[in-house]
Amino acid sequence: MHYYESLIDTIGNTPLVKLNRVNKSIPGTILVKVEYFNPGNSVKDRIALKMIEDAEKEGVLKPGGTIIEGTSGNTGMGLALVAIAKGYKCIFTLADKQSQEKMDVLRAMGAEVIVCPTNVPADDPRSYYSVAKKLNEDIPNSFYPNQYHNLSNTAAHYETTGPEIWEDTDGKLTHYVAGMGTGGTISGASKYLKEKNPKVKTVGIDTYGSVFKKYKETGEFDQKEIYPYLTEGIGEDILPANVDFDTVDHIVKVTDKDGAIMARKLSREEGLFVGWSCGSAVFGALEYAKQNLKEEDVMVILLPDHGTRYLGKVYNDNWMKDHGFLESRKFATAKDIIEHRNGNGRLKTINKNTKVGEAILKMNQLGIDQIPVVDGDEFVGSLNDTKVLKSILENPDVKDQRVNDIMDPCFQFVGMDNTIDVLSSLISKEAKALLVRDEQNGVHIITQSDLLMAMAN
């Protein structure tokens, strides 16, 4: 009889499938490695098994222990499967932008799920990174795999994913493409493939709002690159230890919208019911291929997970329309608002050393109720008329002080492709405006009135 001792023995050896329709007119052979054939329907099953087995060998994880991890959902699923097979308990922390389906699946597998806010820094005690670390410190006999910095992540792909791709392409591979999140998938497989053939080109797929592309190209970790995005599973606001930039030749950024639409296209035209970041990977790969692939080349794109994780988002027409991805609104994104705004002139700012009285006069002359505060080319704060009025009522001498003394924090930067729904969620009583950095035309401001006008259309 032929059977497996447990489900985790079926991890790996996923198939390569040729793309036939979405890549029309693009030269070369383009294959996708379909990771939803893993038992947990994602590439993360590979690292889950490797991290747990390495922890057992090192004596870090003992029988009856608890596995605690911060996850976007897929790693949690893989860890849950391994935990069931090996007799461990699981607690997972997820950012609140993750789909409800991912949370429900993890709970169905017996895991405890803790939902944390998305739009907080990684070192904020409320972030899903920090909450996982704190639980690990407080709960006896627990293990925190920490997929971002645990090099067993990279090792799993060096030992399995890379060799599978090389063998299945009979060594003819010329290009490897994968999304960049924790970094293990792209770095581990790429390291192996480049050892077999140093000429193999590796293309990483990043998202707008993430730090990877600029860091790769300049060596600078730019906080200005970080802003909210919706795509799950790729992009980071940190530099995980598993990201080895030396194994990545080029990085392509893909918008939330382009990734979501391509995922749906893969389902309809190729029969591949895949997740959001899979759409991002294919869209970015094809954009790169248009300019760089030759007829004799063989490109492999790794597709990380299954579409069932996104039934309430990417595969829900109403959700797609609400987020401007199916063009239900005339003004759908920050870019649309800026392009259609009347009198779109240079952004008005005020220097931090300007006297408050002069700032009030300038705001009155311009007819605005808030203004960004700058120090040279840097945005350092903001000023709004409500706060200024309150300060002067409490102390009339405030008008002779510098703006720097009473200003509020800087308006948050967002991306050109952020949708109206995301922009609206970031506007509040305390933060009445947002800033958008346009590489061609500088910085723009989006106010409450801009959003109201966009929604009316």
Question: Which residues belong to the active site?
Answer: 44
Q: Which residues pair with 177 in a beta bridge?
A: 203, 301
Phi, psi (5° rounding) for residue 74? Answer: -70, -40
Residues 6+ apart with CB under 8 A from 268: none
Q: CA-to-CA distance for 183 and 347, rounded, in angstroms?
A: 37
| 276, containing H or E segment | helix 276-292
Chain mean position to CA 334: 18
Q: What is the CB neighbour count within 10 angstroms for residue 65?
A: 21
DSSP-derived 3-state class of residue 376: coil
280: closest CA among 154, 180, 416?
A: 180
**H/E run at residue 360:** helix 356-366
The whole-angstrom separation of Cα 358 and Cα 407 is: 14
Give the number of residues written for the chain: 457
Query: For residues 456 and 325, what is the distance between their CA atoms, to the nearest angstrom?
Result: 17
Tell me if 303 sits within 8 A of 36, measured CB to CB. yes
Residue 236 and residue 211 in contact, taking contact as beta carbons nearer than 8 Å: yes
